[in-house]
Amino acid sequence: MDDTPTISPVSPEVDDASAPGVLRQTVELLVALCVGVLLFRTFSAEAYVVPTGSMAPTLLGHHRELTCPNCKFVFDVGLDDESPLPRPACPNCGRAGFDDLPVVACNGDRVLVQKFLYDFRAPERWEVAVFHYPGDPSQAYVKRVVGLPGESVRIVRGDVWIDGEPAKKRLEDVRAMRILVHDSRYSPADSDRYPRWSYRRGASLRPEATGWSRTPEGFRHDPASGTSDADDWVVYRNWDPSLERYAPIRDYYGYNGADGRSDNPVHDVGLEARVQPGPGVQSIALSLRSAGDRFVVRIPVGVDGPVEVTRNGSLQKVFVRSNPMAHSEAPHTVEASIFDGRLLASVDGSLLFEPLDYDDPTDSPWNDESPIALGVRGGSLLVPELKVYRDVYYTNAQNLANRRPNGVLEAYPLKDGEYFVLGDNSPVSNDSRFWPQGPVVRRELFLGKPFLVHLPGRVVSLEVFGRSLYWIPDPRRIRYIH
């Protein structure tokens, strides 16, 4: 079948006395999982294997797992039987040149597909779906649905436009599709030479003493004496190793290797941070820059007060839902994104305000090297984890392909029962943009919706009773699919 950074759970320490119990629980879990898989496959689900990386990082084909020696970040590089092995380059710090690094070979994701879902409802936008390839119905493909019947679809500056407007994403869509650019927990060894984070309080021409510092626990803010009540910022700086300088975020895919094209600056960015407010914190601010715009979301902490949103310094009118941080100084997860002309912000998974949709009258192609920042006003704050994300950037051309793309130079109109589909790994995905027989998938060709990566595995060499086994399950990568 043609075709999310994965977070590894933290394993608690287990003493020797409890080891048998843990082993028994593990065996029971595997048995229950196997029985569940058999029942699902028989009555409501079908299992497929993803062979290629056209949906990476959402779904992985055959790939290698590597650990970057510069920042210790674990990442994946695809394996294509028809192409040379790509040279690995870390998507977190950009370091390349470690072709001889030890790797772990892994099979393509094994997914469970709800077989009868589309008998009861139609496919929805941004949903991952499995279907018969229109050019060869004997092949099953998996892509993301972006265009629905009766709509006109066009790719404009990396975004999907529907009927002349950018197609908006909900919070759950953003989470499902966002691509990790940098994770503060994995600090590069060369960060002293090329800092990925800087600290700033006050205006750039009149800086004040900052209270930020880097500790083993993460970013820590302490009140700085003799300073004003201005926001104190920790600012991300994007280092581009291929350019050997700080530069805007581009559409780089670590899965495609160092030789993969990444020519397009990406304006749609987001952040996620775990924050632990201490005494005296008045507010936390999230700053996002995109194509000449700067949005700031200010969240009051420990007190009732309005959540404020500004665009280039101008206060925006938003409909506030709730603020979980108003009456709690417990640890929280804050998120914000500007994807497809829509600002979203949430705390612990709950939207702070109704989505703010905006137009970009300047249509500026400009973006800077520091699109993300987190600020605090007053008091102490610990930020154990701060992640920078980008949106999928849909390219106008496929790597090494010379084809006139569908839905790029002009909008493509969809008729009744027709759908337009795209792969998340846009530079290498063979999808509706490039099919020679036409870009549409008719509804009767859909097979179902994948909902679970159920048996990811590693390829290893083990000798058991004189036989060699080359595959073992990898429970870290079991995950739901949106």
The 3-class SS string of 378-445 reads CCCEEEEEEEEEECCCCCCCCCCCCCCCCCCCCCEECCCCEEEEECCCHHHCCCCCCCCCCCEEEHHH
Q: Are 111 and 213 members of one domain? A: no
Tokens of 14: 């287990």
Q: Are 157 and 210 members of one domain? A: no
| pLDDT tens-digit readout, 219-252 | 999 987 766 678 999 999 998 877 778 999 999 9
Cross-strand partners of 145: 421
Q: Are 433 and 467 members of one domain? A: yes
Residue 309 lies in a domain: yes
Which residues are CB-neighbours of 119 under 8 A, at least 6 positions away? none
Q: State yes or no: cis peptide before 12, omega within 30 of 0.
A: no
Nearest to 1 by CA among 36, 69, 50: 50
Confidence band (pLDDT; 50, 70, 90) for 14? very low
Phi, psi for 254 (deg, rounded to 5)? -60, -30
Q: What is the SS3 string spanning 104-162?
A: EEECCCEEEEECCHHHCCCCCCCCEEEEEECCEEEEEEEEEEEECCCCEEEEECCEEEE
What CATH number did the domain enclosing 78 receive? 2.10.109.10
Q: Which residue has the higher pLDDT, 85 or 176?
A: 176
Q: Are 213 and 104 members of one domain? A: no
Mean pLDDT, all residues of the chain: 86
CA distance 396 to 393: 10
Residue 107 lies in a domain: yes
Which residues are CB-neighbours of 172 under 8 A, at least 6 positions away? 482
pLDDT at residue number 350: 95
Q: Are 357 and 228 members of one domain? A: yes
Q: Are 103 and 64 members of one domain? A: yes
The length of the chain is: 482
Q: Which residue has the higher pLDDT, 158 or 105?
A: 158
| pLDDT tens-digit readout, 404-413 | 789 999 999 9
Residue 376 lies in a domain: yes
pLDDT at residue number 451: 94
Q: Are 72 and 35 members of one domain? A: yes
pLDDT at residue number 294: 94
Residue 472 lies in a domain: yes
DSSP state of 214: E
Q: Are 423 and 382 members of one domain? A: no
Whole-structure pTM value: 0.87
CA distance 347 to 307: 12
Cβ distance 214 to 196 under 8 Å? no
Residue 131 has pLDDT above 50, yes or no: yes
Terminal CA-CA length for the chain: 18
CA distance 153 to 441: 13
The alpha carbon dihedral of 161, 165, 167, 169 has a sign of positive
Q: Are 146 and 219 members of one domain? A: no
Which residues are CB-neighbours of 184 under 8 A, at least 6 positions away? 196, 197, 218, 219, 383, 385, 386, 387
Q: Are 366 and 425 members of one domain? A: no
Residue 11 lies in a domain: no
CA distance 221 to 312: 26
CA atoms within 13 A on the CB side of 58: 31
| pLDDT tens-digit readout, 436-446 | 999 999 999 99
Residue 206 has pLDDT above 80, yes or no: no
Give the domain extent around 355. Answer: 197-236+267-390
What CATH number did the domain enclosing 351 receive? 2.60.120.560
Residue 400 lies in a domain: no
Residue 120 has pLDDT above 80, yes or no: yes
pLDDT at residue number 263: 82
Cα 288 to the center of its chain, rounded Å: 16
Query: What's the total number of domains in the chain?
Result: 2
Q: Which residue has the higher pLDDT, 364 or 482?
A: 482
Q: Are 146 and 285 members of one domain? A: no
CA atoms within 13 A on the CB side of 339: 26
Q: What is the mean pLDDT of residues 263-283?
A: 94
Residue listed under structure tokens 């849909």: 394
Q: Are 154 and 225 members of one domain? A: no
Q: CA angle, corner 186, sides to 204 and 248, nearest 5? A: 45
End residue of a domain, out of 361, 390, 419: 390
Q: Which residues of 458-475 are buried (b: 16+ CB within 10 A; e: fewer)?
A: beeeeeeeeeeeeeeebe
Q: Which residue has the higher pLDDT, 327 or 284?
A: 284
Cβ distance 4 to 255 under 8 Å? no
Residue 180 lies in a domain: no
Residue 252 lies in a domain: no
